[in-house]
Amino acid sequence: MICFAFPEQAVLAASLGWPVGQWEWRHFPDGESYVRVHSAVQGQQVGILCSLNQPDAKLLPLVFLASALRQQGAARITLVAPYLAYMRQDIAFHTGEAVTSEIFAPLLSRYVDALVTIDPHLHRHASLEAIYSCQCTVLSAAPLMAAWIKEHLPKPLLIGPDAESEQWVAQVAKGADAPHVVLSKQRHGDHEVEITLPSLAAWAGRTPVLVDDIISTGGTMAKACGLLRAQGFTGLHCLATHALFAEGALEKLHAAGIEKIVTTNTIAHASNGMDVAGMVGRI
């Protein structure tokens, strides 16, 4: 598969070992995007590597690139989006809200034949196929997390901060041969969450490892860490697949007393400590 990588994905693209497709994306003075494919793709399988954090800025160039590849005769276009955006608004929480997951998915499906992603935020949609009409492949970062925990922490206690995280934390716990608990969370706003933590006295002496798919504002992890510290736990670790890290998130997590934050490189970030290149390269 010839790989056309978005600029942010250059490091990941280089470690995939796929043939590199040359393309150009720049902005006209008025802000519009200019996209041009330079490599020959007639009859070829092509991949577009584009993690969809900050998706609004990437969607149009992505659509332009896919269309140009199709127009140049690409036989099959696979979008490799290690982080898939617009999965969390999967219901109208308030009257009049756009259910963006159900709008974004058909839009992308029009331009690509297949989608490969890692730990998509599936909550009320049972599968990607429920909203995407292209062929979908879902990879999991759980084995990477389990391996990281086994290598670094002798007596971990894995903690999912909310019900949605159960799907990830249970798999990681199994791979790491560690116990796990799942907390309950209520979100009151973009930055406001309330978490209920039962007594974890039975697990005293273990190292708490919070496991989630996404760190965005850091509110979820920070709140859970505060509660764990109040119960006397120390050496708190946070593991997440996608390092979205909105402004101020890292500072919030450090202020909450977290000892270490480790993420995968689905989104390039200083906290990256687990490499998805191997699993992506094998698709």
Answer yes or no: are the C-beta atoms of 104 and 115 closer than 8 Å.
no
Nearer to ligand R5P, 76 or 187 (CB): 187
Nearer to ligand R5P, 2 or 267 (CB): 267
Please provide residue 192's backbone torsions phi and psi, each rounded to the nearest 5 degrees: -115, 115
Nearer to ligand R5P, 44 or 217 (CB): 217
* Subset of residues 135 to 164 that bind ligand R5P, contact rule: CB under 6 A: 161-162, 164
Three-class DSSP category at 114 = strand
Told to check if 101 binds ligand R5P by CB under 6 A, we report no
Nearer to ligand R5P, 70 or 185 (CB): 185
Quick one: which of 214, 228, 243, 253 contacts ligand R5P (CB under 6 A)?
A: 214
Structure tokens at 91: 């219901």
Quick one: which of 217, 264, 265, 271 contacts ligand R5P (CB under 6 A)?
A: 217
Query: Would strands 260-264 and 237-243 be described as parallel, antiparallel, or unpaired?
Result: parallel
Active site annotation includes 260 = no
What beta strand segments (E) does the chain contain? Answer: 2-5, 23-27, 33-37, 45-49, 76-81, 114-118, 135-139, 156-160, 180-182, 184-187, 193-196, 207-215, 237-243, 260-264, 272-274
What distance in Å separates the CA atoms of residue 267 and residue 226, rounded to the nearest whole number? Answer: 26
- Catalytic site residue from 58, 185, 223, 252: 185
* Subset of residues 174 to 193 that bind ligand R5P, contact rule: CB under 6 A: 193
Burial class (CB in 10 A: 0-12, 13-18, 19+), 126: exposed
Told to check if 51 binds ligand R5P by CB under 6 A, we report no
Please provide residue 239's backbone torsions phi and psi, each rounded to the nearest 5 degrees: -120, 135
Told to check if 266 binds ligand R5P by CB under 6 A, we report no
Minimum separation from the CB atom of position 113 to ligand R5P (A): 29
Quick one: which of 213, 233, 256, 276 contacts ligand R5P (CB under 6 A)?
A: 213
Minimum separation from the CB atom of position 223 to ligand R5P (A): 8
Query: Would strands 23-27 and 33-37 be described as parallel, antiparallel, or unpaired?
Result: antiparallel
Number of chain residues interacting with ligand R5P (CB under 6 A): 14
Quick one: which of 53, 109, 165, 171 contacts ligand R5P (CB under 6 A)?
A: 165
Told to check if 90 binds ligand R5P by CB under 6 A, we report no
Interacting residue ranges for ligand R5P, rule: CB under 6 A: 161-162, 164-165, 193, 212-220
